Amino acid sequence: MDSTVRAEIVLVDDEDMVITSVRAFLEMETEHNVHGFTNPNDAIAHLETHPVDVVVSDYLMPQMNGIQLLARSKALQPEAARVLLTGHADKQSAIVAINQVGLYQYLEKPWDNNQLLLVVQSAIERTQLFRSLQTKIAELEAAHGNMADIRAKLIKAFL
């Protein structure tokens, strides 16, 4: 994918250290805007007002866990891809929750940067593709009347 496409990434981890490192990495490798939050509630506030392409969240955090955060994200912006970052010990709970929040991918800590980049890029691509298809359908709809059926199929296939 074209890495010059600017995307909006939300990154949530209660460890400042992780945010700084991941943000530095993504900013070095891409042109994306990375919004880091150590408090999931601040991330939700951001999601309420800003369109986002991908949300990457830690699993274990004091205020709420990553699954709960991603569930909120799904409710607010269903098309924004959801990625969970988990410690090895939480893997089981992560797997159980995959269906619950329509997880795009999960990554294990300590994370591998190349894998992270791959996942984030393809997640962004997917979200942006979905959004542009939706706009196309809206345009077609304006021109040709009822396209609700196609739209519904698209949503079902993607989310």
Partner 1 sequence: MSSDCPSTASGPRVRTAEELRAEVANLEGRLAEADKMALLGRLIASVVHEINTPIGSVFSNNQVAAKGLETLSRMLEEPAPPPKAQQIVKTLRSLSDVDRMACERISALIRSVRNFSRGDGERPAKAALQDVLANSIKLAETSFRNRIAIEAQLGPAECECYPSAMGQVFLNILVNAGQAIENDGRIQVKLAVEDGWAHAAITDNGQGIRPENCGCIFKEGFTTKPMGEGTGLGLSIARRIVEEKHQGRIWFESTVGVGTTFHVSVPVAGPVVKGEA
Q: Is 15 a binder of partner 1 (CB under 8 A)? A: yes
User: Of these, 4, 49, 88, 149, which contacts partner 1 (CB under 8 A)?
Assistant: 88
What phi and psi values does residue 59 have, to the nearest 5 degrees?
Answer: -85, -55
Binding status of residue 28 toward partner 1 by CB under 8 A: yes
CB of 28 to partner 1, least distance (A): 5
Look-up: residue for tokens 């329509």? Answer: 102
Please say whether the beta carbons of 25 and 68 come within 8 A.
Answer: no
* Residue 14 DSSP one-character state: S
Kindly identify the residues of this chain, within the stretch 94-153, that bind partner 1 according to CB under 8 A: 109-111, 113
The residue count of the chain comes to 159
- Residue 17: helix, strand or coil by DSSP? helix
One of 87, 91, 92, 140 touching partner 1 (CB under 8 A): 87
Q: How far is CA 30 from the centre of its chain?
A: 16
* Among 22, 43, 119, 120, interactor with partner 1 by CB under 8 A: 22
Supply the minimum distance, in Å, between the C-beta of residue 138 and partner 1: 37
Minimum separation from the CB atom of position 122 to partner 1 (A) = 19
Cβ proximity of 86 and 66 under 8 Å: yes
Determine how β-strand 54-58 pairs with β-strand 33-37.
unpaired
**47 three-state secondary structure:** helix
Stretch 46-65: interaction string toward partner 1, x if CB under 8 A: --------------xxx---
Q: Does 3 bind partner 1 (CB under 8 A)?
A: no
Q: Which residues bind partner 1 (CB under 8 A)?
A: 14-15, 17-18, 20-22, 24-25, 27-29, 60-62, 87-89, 109-111, 113
